[in-house]
């Protein structure tokens, strides 16, 4: 089996391939939970999917602006043409945020070489500078000495782009994190879930170390010592609500409505939970 969202990872199979142990845990887990079977079109292709729908009632608080955890420590995907065109059309802002053009200039790359790398290199910078001169994800930036944010998303917001345009400009894995999608080797079936205290045996992320989806961790004294601002209990909302626009644009309206219907039916969410909420995709610094 494969981690579907990491199939385009620059490090390839080393990252996206599940071990036999994890595959076994996954299959046993999906036998034990309530699921919905549906066909979903993802980036133009239709897949048969098994959705672990109850996890969408789990609470999340994506307070990226006050987070000190290095979510952007990795380059999770080879960039698409949509991302490259966004950067090329916003070079000044891209450089102001990331300093990448200045860094490469200081390392004696010409402007023409830099543009060529944005157009053709997997991570839009020379391979030898990845995780060296240009640390963390090549599209990350730090607005202060605390948090690390996404320059692609910030450029989209500065240009007043719609949710659909933002989603099209970013790698799929970045849009959907921390959702996990695991695929059969031949991609004949996808399994959709979230890291939590039951699934960490096979998901690629670890619930226990992820404060945005682990409210108890965020309330702990150990965590508050490291991160005294943000991640307040009142800001946690069901992930179905926090990611409404993202889920609709990637999986479709039917996906969102079916998950919502089942969560309401099972009293895992209530009508009052769906109050007006500024969704994660439009948050800005």
Q: What is the pLDDT of residues 26-72, one digit of tens each?
A: 999 999 999 999 999 999 999 999 999 999 999 999 888 888 877 76
* 205-220 b/e (C-beta count within 10 Å ≥ 16 → b): bebeebbbbbbebbee
> Above pLDDT 90, what percent of the chain?
72
Chain-centroid distance of CA 169 in Å reads: 13
Q: In this structure, what token pair is assigned to residue 261?
A: 């219907």
Residue 196 to residue 185: CA distance in whole angstroms: 24
Section 238-249 average pLDDT: 92
Q: With contact defined as beta carbons under 8 Å apart, do 184 and 49 qualify?
A: no
Q: In this structure, what token pair is assigned to residue 240?
A: 């179905």
pTM here?
0.92
Section 11-29 average pLDDT: 95
pLDDT score for 185: 97
Of the chain, the end-to-end C-alpha distance in Å amounts to 38
DSSP output for 155-220: HHHHTT--HHHHHHHS-HHHHHTT-EEEE-TTSS-EEEE---TTTTTTSSS-GGG-GGG-HHHHHS
Beta-bridged to residue 275, according to DSSP, are none
Section 151-175 average pLDDT: 94
Least confident segment among 65-74, 200-209, 226-235: 65-74
Residue 135 to residue 155: CA distance in whole angstroms: 20
pLDDT score for 44: 92
Close Cβ partners of 62 (under 8 Å, ≥ 6 residues apart) = 212, 242, 280, 283
Section 5-23 average pLDDT: 95
Section 153-175 average pLDDT: 94
pLDDT score for 43: 93
Section 72-97 average pLDDT: 94
Q: Provide the mean pLDDT of the chain.
A: 91
Section 263-279 average pLDDT: 84
Section 208-225 average pLDDT: 89
- CB atoms closer than 10 angstroms to residue 128: 9
pLDDT score for 115: 97
Q: Which helix (H) or strand (E) covers residue 2, if one does? A: strand 2-3
Chain-centroid distance of CA 165 in Å reads: 16
pLDDT beyond 90 at 264: yes
Q: Between β-strands 36-42 and 59-60, what pairing exists: parallel, antiparallel or unpaired? A: unpaired
């Amino acid at each position: 089996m494969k981690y579907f969202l990491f199939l385009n990872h620059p490090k390839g199979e080393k990252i996206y391939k599940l071990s036999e142990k994890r595959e076994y845990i996954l299959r046993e887990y999906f036998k034990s939970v309530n699921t919905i079977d549906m066909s979903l079109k993802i980036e133009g292709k239709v897949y048969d999917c098994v959705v672990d729908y109850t996890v969408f009632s789990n609470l999340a608080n994506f307070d990226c602006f006050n987070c000190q955890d290095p979510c952007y420590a990795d380059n999770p995907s080879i960039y698409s043409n949509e991302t490259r065109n966004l950067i090329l059309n916003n070079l000044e802002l891209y450089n102001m945020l990331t300093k990448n053009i200045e860094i490469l200039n200081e390392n004696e790359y010409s402007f023409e070489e830099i543009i060529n790398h944005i157009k053709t290199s997997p991570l839009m910078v020379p391979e030898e500078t990845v995780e060296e001169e240009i640390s963390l994800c090549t599209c990350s930036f730090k607005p202060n000495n605390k948090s690390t944010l996404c320059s692609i998303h910030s450029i989209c917001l500065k240009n007043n782009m719609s949710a659909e345009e933002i989603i099209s400009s970013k790698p799929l894995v970045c849009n959907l994190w921390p959702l996990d999608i695991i695929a059969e080797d031949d991609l004949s079936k996808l399994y959709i879930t979230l890291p939590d205290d039951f699934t960490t045996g096979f998901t690629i992320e670890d619930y226990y170390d992820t404060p945005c989806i682990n409210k108890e961790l965020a309330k702990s004294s150990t965590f508050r010592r490291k991160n005294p601002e943000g991640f307040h209990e009142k800001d946690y909302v069901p992930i179905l609500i926090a990611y409404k626009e993202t889920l609709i644009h990637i999986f479709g309206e039917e996906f969102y409505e079916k998950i919502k219907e089942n969560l309401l039916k099972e009293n895992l969410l209530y009508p009052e939970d769906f109050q007006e909420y500024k969704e994660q995709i439009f948050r800005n610094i």
